[in-house]
A = this chain, B = another copy of it.
Amino acid sequence: MKTVILAGGSGTRLWPLSREHFPKQFIKLFNDSSLFQKAVNRALIFSDASEVYIVANEKYRFRVLDQLSEIGVKIPEENILIEPDAKNTLPAIYYAIKTILDKYGNSKVAVLPSDHLVDVNDSYKRALEGAESLAEEYLVTFGIRATHPHTGYGYIKPGKPLDGGYEVEKFVEKPNLYKAKEYTKEGYFWNSGMFLFKPNLFIEECKVHQPEIVKAFESDNLQEIYGRLPELSVDYGIMEKTDKAAVVALNTFWSDVGSFDALYDIFKKDEKENVVEGECIPVDSKNNFIFGERLIAVIGVKDVIVVDTSDAVLVCSKKNAQKVKDVVEILKSRGDERAEIHRTAYRPWGSFTILEGADFYKIKKLTVLPGRRLSLQRHYHRSEHWVVVKGTARVIVDGKEFLLKSGESTFIDVGKIHRLENLGLTTLEIIEVQIGEYLGEDDIERFQDDFGRENKL
């Protein structure tokens, strides 16, 4: 079985934990592991690493690579399918299915979202295995038996029983509470977003229901293809229209982790029904979700979400958890970059965190991944002091090459061509003090870059 992981989602309802450039699937929510990493591990139950395909947006390329490398999973680079634009799930799946068909022929493919939490138990494995024969004739979707009337999920009404599942009678979009209660009583499934099918059948159905997508993919130029594609979900575009949809019951814990109240439900509670991740002093407080980097004291509050990150704090009543996206909208409308990035920004070579900034200086902590190097570069407005606090750096300044080990420092004057490289096997950490009259990230002239970021200069 081949597996496609969809990693292009950019949810806004977990802000400030998630940001546009660091969406939900990459946050380390659970024991230092992300939903994306968990999805990769689920994929490896039925597929070899070489048979796993990942579809993600350009801006997540290095998150995907780094998180794979963190868990030591080697997926071939050509299996990482980078979309130039986010066009929702149908184009993403089509892109992967077409790639797999070209390489492996009509071999069965599982499609897994990377931003859901799924508990892998025996029933999960049996359901996927059991669905394989159904997938000979159907586009198989997986349904979670609705246990309560959730209004944030899509529903599937099972129809005629099949061997190992049901024909799908209909798909229903997120219902109101009244409808959700009805569906729950009548044994509908929650739509898990997981699929199993054979490429040819999928493409046949696309030809019938979304011919313009099939047509767009006839081009060889990805940019051109994505320029022509509509934004379309696989549910709306294919599953709701086809008469080849089957549903297989998945008897396991599943959540779309779509908002902080969903996260609250997932995490372990203390004796006052508080979820506490991080350091908290609760006084007369119950039913809260407390998640922070700093010490958080809560007094006399209940049913509240408190999320603390290095540059933003969220305090939200649980029943308003869906409105977190409104804050992100407000930030975006103001061009406020806290909608998009964390104080820690990720780069192909690692990451940097702004520790302190003022008009005339900026202090950054740089973390360079093993074997990576920054571009050969020059600044016109700032000088830089580097102090190595962990690892050993190879530094080039003005043509001179030397090593700097932990506790050593160097100075790069304005206008000097320089480069920083980590030759070691562990991360390299540098404290950089920038001084200058202008400290924007765009004061950089790149002469060579391992990641194709040379300037046009």
Contact = CB atoms under 8 A, between A and B. Distances in A.
B389 A361 contact: yes
Residue among A330, A331, A433 with most chain B CB within 10 A: A433
A390 B360 contact: yes
B300 A306 contact: no
A107 interface: no
Say how many copies of this protein the assembly contains.
Answer: 2
Interface in A294-344: 294-301, 304, 306, 308, 310-317, 319-320, 323-324, 326-327, 330-331, 338
A435 interface: yes
A438 to B, nearest CB: 14
Given A312-B294, A355-B356, A411-B409, A323 B283 contact: yes
Contacts of A326: 283, 299
Contacts of A304: 301, 304, 315
A330 B313 CA distance: 23
Interface string A398-420: 00000000110101000000000
A57 B389 CA distance: 39
Contact of A327 (B283, B310, B327, B411): B283
Contacts of A387: 385, 433, 435
A436 to B, nearest CB: 8
Interface in A374-403: 383, 385, 387, 389-390
A89 to B, nearest CB: 28
A425 interface: no
Interface of A: 15-16, 281, 283-284, 292, 294-301, 304, 306, 308, 310-317, 319-320, 323-324, 326-327, 330-331, 338, 355-356, 358, 360-361, 363, 365, 383, 385, 387, 389-390, 406-407, 409, 411, 431, 433, 435
14 contacts: A283-B320, A283-B326, A284-B323, A292-B313, A295-B338, A296-B315, A299-B323, A299-B324, A299-B326, A301-B315, A361-B389, A363-B365, A385-B409, A409-B409
